[in-house]
Chain A
């Protein structure tokens, strides 16, 4: 007997299964896609030409110019 309540419970269960399946898929995809390899390169993917590696890019407004000179680590 499919009443409104039962339908919702089924929806909840389907949602849970779908979410679990998508998590498994994501892990599988990540592994197949090479996301779990080559960690050094992945770690550097946040740097760009504009905000490059090796440069400190956030300072207090007032001290800015003073720190800029010594920002090259």
Chain B
């Protein structure tokens, strides 16, 4: 960070020695198309599994949402009672869709930035198959009555060791790709992915140990539970989505990130603060006050990385807004990045006890969760898949219309979801804090807001189908157009 070396370094005749893009010789640096090819089978596998879970999760989510304003909906099926189907939704979206997306995008970006091909892709597939089978057995367990009572960890304990093991195999690939890197600089996306690859097994094993395998006493379990649940988002999904945004936005615009200094600051401040934030789920709960305070401080500390990312991305995109509409990837990623700013600032606000007193135990929290996990994370992953798949397969997306349908139905659906439940949830919170209002009145008051969620769910599902159809089409269809420019250009180089 020393300014002295900043001034001295560029004076050396680097450009002559190393060309424009780093000091390694051209032979030593692996071509991107070779890296893409090495990731092809695994990447496509993870994306397909992710799309499957996305559709399954949409179905579960829709059933759960309908039941909240229409309790007789599918009431004859015991497997689809609210408690089960809601958890099935959460787990298929989190461990099915989101994790598969992270595996595909995270490993691919890591390999690309490390300029090193993915080695032994076959083993990666085996780990991927194991992971997805374990999730399948886990979701089946949830639907048929084996689920645990711990939110975000409902998958029965007879499957979780397999989940842990298969993750370990996949995570090792990320570390290996980094270890064998041919690149000189560690780009900020690599930092984020490397962090995530280490953080996820940590929080997962600790949560499993302290809650199931050697249960801690009393409220320590609750603390561990929310420390874990929040960190899945904060230290696993968020870093990978930010890595994708930091990679794709400058990459597609052909314009370096506005301030690399800010991006590094953002990473380290996220690493410092996010781990503390989870306790804010227990504000007002029977846990030590110092811990709640630490959670509030951690949550407010998150304002730093969030503002840093927002400023950095905005200033990078500034002047190129037209390009956002020309690029299927960018419109998703920018939507996601904007949602990140909003969702995180809202999250910091919600951690303030005075605000929390209203929002806690209401649908406001649900809106916030989807704001982060869907409008931010999932939208960025959609955009990344739109960028990655043509390069892996050397094919262009067959249908631009489907991409547009996907974007608009998901963008509008997510907006309806978040706005509807935030407004409804806030009013719900105010009413619940007023002892003069009977509870049934609040329940009835919420019905229209809950219906807006089902409507949003329909829109999101339409988008997911468009996404899945496009994936099936690009895989099975003939070569529709010439491959991406970058790849053809490579042959000449």
Contacts and interface: CB of A to CB of B under 8 A. Distances in A.
A4 interface: yes
B328 A49 contact: no
A61 B256 contact: no
Nearest to B5: A37
Interface in B168-191: 183-187, 189
Q: Which of A11, A33, A43, A73 has the most CB of B within 10 A?
A: A43
A interface, how many residues as a size bin?
35 or more
Interface stretch (B128-136, B204-212, B338-346): B204-212
B209 A44 contact: no
A44 B268 CA distance: 20
Contact of A50 (B183, B271, B489): B489
Given A30-B186, A46-B187, A38 B5 contact: yes
A44 B21 contact: yes
Contacts of A63: 326, 400
B206 A38 contact: no
Nearest to A31: B1
B22 A59 contact: no
B198 interface: yes
Interface in A20-73: 22-23, 26-27, 30-31, 33-64, 67-68, 73
A65 to B, nearest CB: 9
A45 B183 contact: yes
A51 B259 CA distance: 20
A26 B184 CA distance: 16
B408 to A, nearest CB: 13
A57 B271 contact: no
Interface of B is mostly: helix
Contacts of B327: 56, 58-60
Contacts of B189: 46
Contacts of B326: 56, 58-60, 63, 67
A64 B255 CA distance: 20
A47 B251 contact: yes
A54 B320 CA distance: 12
B456 to A, nearest CB: 25
Given A46-B251, A50-B31, A50-B493, A64 B209 contact: no
A9 B214 contact: yes
Interface string B304-337: 0000000000000000100100111110000000
B445 interface: no
Interface stretch (B63-71, B364-372, B480-488): B480-488
Interface stretch (B45-53, B391-399, B411-419): B391-399
Interface of B: 1-2, 5-6, 9-10, 14, 20-22, 26, 29, 31-33, 113, 183-187, 189, 194, 198-199, 202, 205-206, 209-210, 213-214, 216, 247, 250-257, 259-261, 263-264, 268, 271, 320, 323, 326-330, 386-387, 396-400, 403, 480-481, 484-487, 489-490, 493
11 contacts: A9-B214, A12-B209, A37-B1, A39-B6, A43-B257, A46-B189, A47-B21, A50-B33, A50-B493, A61-B403, A67-B326
Q: Which 5 A-B pairs have the closest CB atoms?
A: A8-B214, A39-B260, A43-B260, A43-B256, A58-B327
